[in-house]
């Protein structure tokens, strides 16, 4: 039994709901349920029973919470006393945010997470075209939520840590009014003679596009580049050209997404230097996002 499990039980009991307690604790419902099951297995009895009004404490659960209440109060007092000398210290986090965070509706969850942690001062960096790996190595970012410039080469250097959060099919993005939108799939060779829209020259998106057309010996009509994803996607929406991007961009930017053939997949990744994993605030944020994305995938 851990003090954290005791606190979890008290939170569930106060709300008569695992899902509501999970939201308050910034855990996934499955992770919290698993912790409860482990504790009940260790204790040898059930703490909660399901009723029409939600979860209700069993008689054993009632006794558990009555004895756990003073323990939780003493624990909170202990935490405050040992952390008192740090109360004026502010943790600072420089967080790079890629477009896939917005298209997958993760940003509001991220804000809620940091709202509950006022001790962390967060600065968001959203500039398109930033080489996140270089920015991490220079110390300009502490971590990034983005795709890697070349995912197949992930952390061979040894200094980089990357874990996929959301995996998506790579598509050709076109205006919903474009006749191409009726196609069920496209290949890179179908881009021959098209106008392409990309991020800044040598950005991750631009390198990905240029590598693809070079590999298949494609000649495009011209390339429009922009340092803002909104501008790039507006150009696509207005029929000024095509872009390569994940399937989530379609609904977010009101476009049509035509899957690439053969299948190509890209991932939104949690990326930082291996040395930054020593920081508790970074590890905990990684664990929160991993659980959140896993729960979404299971749904």
Is the same domain home to 117 and 132? yes
Q: For residue 178, give the 3-state DSSP assignment.
A: coil
List the domain range (segments joined by +) for residue 144.
91-166+267-298
Is pLDDT above 50 for 130?
Answer: yes
Average pLDDT value for residue range 59-74: 93
Per 3-state DSSP, what percentage of the chain is helix, strand, and coil (rounded to 5)? 50, 25, 30
| High-pLDDT (> 90) share of the chain, % | 52
Q: Which of these three, 60, 86, 112, is where a domain ends?
A: 86
Q: Which of these three, 86, 121, 146, is where a domain ends?
A: 86
Torsion of CA 49, 50, 52, 57, to 10 degrees: 30
CATH of the domain at 210: 3.40.190.290
Report the distance separating Cα 186 and Cα 181, nearest Å.
10
Supply the pLDDT for residue 108. Answer: 93
How many domains does the structure of the chain reveal?
3
Least confident window among 2-16, 40-54, 118-132, 212-226:
118-132
Is the same domain home to 24 and 75? yes
Average pLDDT value for residue range 185-209: 87
Average pLDDT value for residue range 168-179: 94
Is the same domain home to 186 and 112? no
DSSP 197: E
The distance from CA 5 to its chain's CA centroid, rounded to whole angstroms, is 25
Supply the pLDDT for residue 85. Answer: 52
Report the distance separating Cα 95 and Cα 146, nearest Å.
10
Is the same domain home to 108 and 230? no
Between these two residues, 84 and 122, which has the higher pLDDT value? 122
Q: Which of 223, 222, 239, 233 is nearest to 180 (CA)?
A: 239
Report the distance separating Cα 107 and Cα 85, nearest Å.
32
Residue 166 is inside which H or E element, if any? strand 160-174
In this structure, are strands 120-125 and 143-146 parallel, antiparallel, or unpaired?
A: unpaired
- Name the pLDDT band for 84 (thresholds 50, 70, 90): low
Is the same domain home to 9 and 98? no
Kindly give, in sequence order, each residue whose CB lies less than 8 Å from that of residue 177, ignoring residues fewer than 6 positions away. Answer: 239
Average pLDDT value for residue range 26-44: 87
Is the same domain home to 254 and 273? no
Report the distance separating Cα 80 and Cα 273, nearest Å.
31
Is the same domain home to 160 and 172? no
CA angle 143, 202, 285 (to 5 degrees): 10
Given a contact cutoff of 8 angstroms between Cβ atoms, the answer to whether 130 and 228 are in contact is: no
Is the same domain home to 149 and 29? no
| Token code pair at residue 159 | 């200094």
Is the same domain home to 172 and 261? yes
CATH of the domain at 16: 1.10.10.10
Q: What is the pLDDT of residues 242-281, one digit of tens each?
A: 999 999 999 999 999 999 999 988 899 999 998 898 888 9
Kindly give, in sequence order, each residue whose CB lies less than 8 Å from that of residue 152, ignoring residues fewer than 6 positions away. Answer: none
Supply the pLDDT for residue 23. Answer: 76
Determine whether 45 is exposed, middle or buried from the number of CB atoms within 10 Å of its CB (0-12, 13-18, 19+). exposed
Residue 298 is inside which H or E element, if any? helix 280-298
Given a contact cutoff of 8 angstroms between Cβ atoms, the answer to whether 280 and 173 are in contact is: no
- Name the pLDDT band for 285 (thresholds 50, 70, 90): very high
Supply the pLDDT for residue 147. Answer: 86
| High-pLDDT (> 70) share of the chain, % | 92
Is pLDDT above 60 for 89?
Answer: no
Supply the pLDDT for residue 129. Answer: 58
Is the same domain home to 23 and 61? yes
First vs last C-alpha separation in the chain? 30
Q: Which of these three, 28, 62, 86, is where a domain ends?
A: 86
Is pLDDT above 80 for 80?
Answer: no
Q: What is the pLDDT of residues 148-172, one digit of tens each?
A: 765 444 444 468 888 899 999 999 9
Supply the pLDDT for residue 155. Answer: 46
| Token code pair at residue 252 | 């977010």
């Amino acid at each position: 039994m851990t003090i954290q499990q005791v606190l979890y039980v008290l939170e569930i009991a106060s709300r008569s709901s695992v899902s509501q307690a999970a939201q308050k604790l910034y855990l996934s419902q499955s992770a919290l349920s698993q912790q409860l099951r482990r504790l009940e297995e260790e204790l040898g009895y059930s703490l909660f029973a399901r009723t029409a009004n939600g979860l209700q404490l069993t008689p054993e659960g009632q006794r558990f919470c009555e004895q756990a209440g003073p323990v939780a109060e003493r624990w909170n007092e202990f935490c405050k006393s040992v952390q008192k000398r740090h109360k004026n210290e502010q943790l600072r986090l420089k967080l790079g945010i890629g477009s896939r965070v917005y298209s997958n509706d993760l940003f509001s969850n991220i804000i809620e997470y940091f709202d509950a942690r006022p001790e962390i001062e967060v600065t968001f960096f959203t500039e398109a075209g930033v080489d996140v790996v270089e920015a991490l190595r220079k110390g300009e970012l502490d971590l990034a939520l983005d795709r890697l410039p070349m995912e197949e080469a992930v952390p061979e250097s040894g200094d980089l840590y990357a874990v996929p959060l959301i995996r998506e099919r790579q598509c050709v993005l076109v205006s919903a009014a474009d006749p191409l939108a009726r196609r069920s799939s496209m290949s890179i060779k179908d881009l021959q003679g098209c106008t392409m829209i990309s991020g800044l020259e040598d950005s991750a998106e631009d390198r990905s596009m240029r590598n693809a057309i070079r590999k298949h010996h494609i000649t495009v009509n011209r390339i429009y580049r922009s340092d803002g994803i909104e501008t790039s996607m507006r150009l696509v929406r207005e029929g000024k050209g095509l872009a390569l991007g994940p399937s989530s961009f379609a609904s977010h930017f009101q476009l049509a997404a035509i899957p690439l053939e053969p299948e190509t997949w890209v991932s939104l990744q949690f990326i930082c230097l291996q040395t930054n994993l020593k920081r508790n605030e970074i590890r905990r944020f990684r664990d929160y996002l991993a659980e959140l994305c896993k729960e979404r995938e299971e749904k």
